[in-house]
Structure 1
Protein backbone atom coordinates (compact mmCIF):
# COMPACT_ATOMS: atom_id res chain seq x y z
CA UNK A 1 0.00 0.00 0.00
CA UNK A 2 0.84 3.57 0.70
CA UNK A 3 3.71 2.85 3.11
CA UNK A 4 5.63 0.68 0.63
CA UNK A 5 4.95 3.15 -2.19
CA UNK A 6 6.25 6.02 -0.03
CA UNK A 7 9.44 4.17 0.88
CA UNK A 8 10.04 3.16 -2.73
CA UNK A 9 9.78 6.82 -3.72
CA UNK A 10 11.87 8.10 -0.77
CA UNK A 11 8.84 10.05 0.47
CA UNK A 12 9.41 9.76 4.20
CA UNK A 13 6.75 12.31 5.09
CA UNK A 14 4.15 10.19 3.28
CA UNK A 15 5.42 7.03 4.98
CA UNK A 16 5.23 8.71 8.38
CA UNK A 17 1.72 9.96 7.69
CA UNK A 18 0.38 6.39 7.70
CA UNK A 19 2.21 5.37 10.89
CA UNK A 20 -0.68 6.30 13.17
CA UNK A 21 -2.17 3.69 15.48
CA UNK A 22 -5.78 4.78 15.91
CA UNK A 23 -6.90 1.46 17.40
CA UNK A 24 -4.61 0.49 20.28
CA UNK A 25 -2.70 3.70 21.05
CA UNK A 26 -5.66 5.59 22.56
CA UNK A 27 -5.95 2.82 25.17
CA UNK A 28 -2.25 2.11 25.70
CA UNK A 29 -1.16 5.72 26.12
CA UNK A 30 -3.05 6.00 29.41
CA UNK A 31 -0.55 3.50 30.85
CA UNK A 32 2.46 5.58 29.80
CA UNK A 33 3.34 8.59 31.93
CA UNK A 34 3.90 11.80 29.94
CA UNK A 35 3.10 10.10 26.62
CA UNK A 36 1.04 13.00 25.32
CA UNK A 37 3.72 15.49 26.38
CA UNK A 38 6.41 13.37 24.69
CA UNK A 39 4.40 13.12 21.47
CA UNK A 40 3.59 16.83 21.48
CA UNK A 41 7.23 17.77 22.07
CA UNK A 42 8.48 15.40 19.39
CA UNK A 43 6.01 16.52 16.74
CA UNK A 44 6.59 20.21 17.54
CA UNK A 45 10.34 19.68 17.18
CA UNK A 46 10.45 18.02 13.80
CA UNK A 47 9.34 14.40 14.19
CA UNK A 48 7.41 13.11 11.20
CA UNK A 49 5.68 10.47 13.35
CA UNK A 50 5.59 9.40 17.00
CA UNK A 51 4.07 6.33 18.56
CA UNK A 52 4.19 3.42 20.95
CA UNK A 53 6.37 0.50 19.99
CA UNK A 54 4.51 -2.75 20.57
CA UNK A 55 2.47 -2.61 23.76
CA UNK A 56 4.85 -0.08 25.36
CA UNK A 57 6.45 1.45 27.27
CA UNK A 58 8.94 2.00 24.44
CA UNK A 59 8.11 4.90 22.14
CA UNK A 60 9.60 5.98 18.82
CA UNK A 61 9.98 9.20 16.90
CA UNK A 62 10.63 9.16 13.15
CA UNK A 63 12.78 12.07 11.97
CA UNK A 64 14.45 12.92 8.69
CA UNK A 65 17.03 15.20 10.29
CA UNK A 66 19.81 13.96 12.59
CA UNK A 67 19.87 17.11 14.73
CA UNK A 68 16.12 16.95 15.34
CA UNK A 69 16.34 13.24 16.14
CA UNK A 70 19.16 13.88 18.61
CA UNK A 71 17.27 16.75 20.29
CA UNK A 72 14.16 14.58 20.65
CA UNK A 73 16.22 11.66 21.98
CA UNK A 74 17.78 13.95 24.58
CA UNK A 75 14.36 15.27 25.63
CA UNK A 76 12.97 11.75 25.93
CA UNK A 77 15.99 10.67 27.99
CA UNK A 78 15.53 13.59 30.39
CA UNK A 79 11.73 13.60 30.59
CA UNK A 80 10.32 10.22 29.59
CA UNK A 81 12.55 7.57 31.15
CA UNK A 82 11.52 7.06 34.77
CA UNK A 83 14.59 5.35 36.23
CA UNK A 84 18.01 3.98 35.26
CA UNK A 85 16.40 0.77 33.97
CA UNK A 86 13.82 2.65 31.90
CA UNK A 87 10.45 1.99 33.48
CA UNK A 88 9.67 0.21 36.72
Structure 2
Protein backbone atom coordinates (compact mmCIF):
# COMPACT_ATOMS: atom_id res chain seq x y z
CA UNK A 1 0.00 0.00 0.00
CA UNK A 2 1.31 3.43 -0.87
CA UNK A 3 -0.20 6.49 0.74
CA UNK A 4 2.12 8.81 -1.13
CA UNK A 5 3.91 8.16 -4.43
CA UNK A 6 7.12 6.21 -3.89
CA UNK A 7 6.69 5.85 -0.12
CA UNK A 8 8.09 2.47 0.83
CA UNK A 9 8.26 2.70 4.61
CA UNK A 10 7.69 5.04 7.51
CA UNK A 11 10.02 5.56 10.45
CA UNK A 12 8.81 5.59 14.02
CA UNK A 13 10.31 7.42 16.99
CA UNK A 14 12.65 5.19 19.02
CA UNK A 15 10.81 5.60 22.34
CA UNK A 16 7.41 6.96 21.33
CA UNK A 17 6.38 3.99 19.19
CA UNK A 18 3.22 5.46 17.66
CA UNK A 19 4.90 8.66 16.42
CA UNK A 20 5.92 8.66 12.74
CA UNK A 21 8.92 10.91 12.17
CA UNK A 22 9.94 10.24 8.55
CA UNK A 23 9.09 8.48 5.31
CA UNK A 24 11.51 6.68 3.02
CA UNK A 25 11.38 5.90 -0.69
CA UNK A 26 12.16 2.73 -2.62
CA UNK A 27 15.57 4.25 -3.39
CA UNK A 28 16.28 4.77 0.30
CA UNK A 29 15.87 8.54 0.37
CA UNK A 30 14.51 9.76 3.69
CA UNK A 31 12.19 12.71 4.18
CA UNK A 32 11.88 13.93 7.76
CA UNK A 33 8.36 15.06 8.53
CA UNK A 34 8.12 18.72 9.51
CA UNK A 35 5.95 17.62 12.42
CA UNK A 36 5.69 14.00 13.64
CA UNK A 37 2.34 12.29 13.12
CA UNK A 38 0.75 9.88 15.60
CA UNK A 39 -0.44 6.51 14.33
CA UNK A 40 -3.29 6.16 16.81
CA UNK A 41 -7.05 5.91 16.66
CA UNK A 42 -8.93 5.31 13.44
CA UNK A 43 -6.63 4.21 10.62
CA UNK A 44 -8.40 6.43 8.09
CA UNK A 45 -7.88 9.50 10.27
CA UNK A 46 -4.17 9.07 11.02
CA UNK A 47 -3.36 7.97 7.46
CA UNK A 48 -4.99 11.14 6.19
CA UNK A 49 -2.99 13.20 8.72
CA UNK A 50 0.17 11.41 7.57
CA UNK A 51 -0.64 12.15 3.93
CA UNK A 52 -1.14 15.84 4.71
CA UNK A 53 2.12 15.99 6.70
CA UNK A 54 3.99 14.21 3.87
CA UNK A 55 2.70 16.81 1.42
CA UNK A 56 3.62 19.69 3.73
CA UNK A 57 7.09 18.25 4.32
CA UNK A 58 7.78 17.77 0.61
CA UNK A 59 6.47 21.29 -0.05
CA UNK A 60 8.94 22.60 2.55
CA UNK A 61 11.80 20.77 0.83
CA UNK A 62 10.78 22.23 -2.52
CA UNK A 63 10.69 25.71 -0.96
CA UNK A 64 14.21 25.21 0.45
CA UNK A 65 15.49 23.89 -2.88
CA UNK A 66 14.02 26.90 -4.66
CA UNK A 67 16.01 29.26 -2.43
CA UNK A 68 19.23 27.26 -2.82
CA UNK A 69 18.96 27.05 -6.60
CA UNK A 70 18.83 30.88 -6.82
CA UNK A 71 22.46 31.09 -5.65
CA UNK A 72 24.70 32.05 -8.60
CA UNK A 73 27.51 29.94 -7.07
CA UNK A 74 25.31 26.84 -6.95
CA UNK A 75 27.21 23.56 -6.82
CA UNK A 76 24.88 21.23 -8.74
CA UNK A 77 26.38 18.00 -7.40
CA UNK A 78 26.06 19.18 -3.80
CA UNK A 79 22.50 20.32 -4.54
CA UNK A 80 21.59 16.88 -5.89
CA UNK A 81 23.03 15.20 -2.79
CA UNK A 82 21.37 17.64 -0.39
CA UNK A 83 17.76 17.29 -1.56
CA UNK A 84 15.69 14.16 -2.18
CA UNK A 85 14.57 13.55 -5.76
CA UNK A 86 12.35 11.10 -7.53
CA UNK A 87 14.07 8.94 -10.09
TM-score (norm 1): 0.29
The structure with the greater share of residues assigned to strand is 2
The structure with the greater share of residues assigned to helix is 1
TM-score (norm 2): 0.30
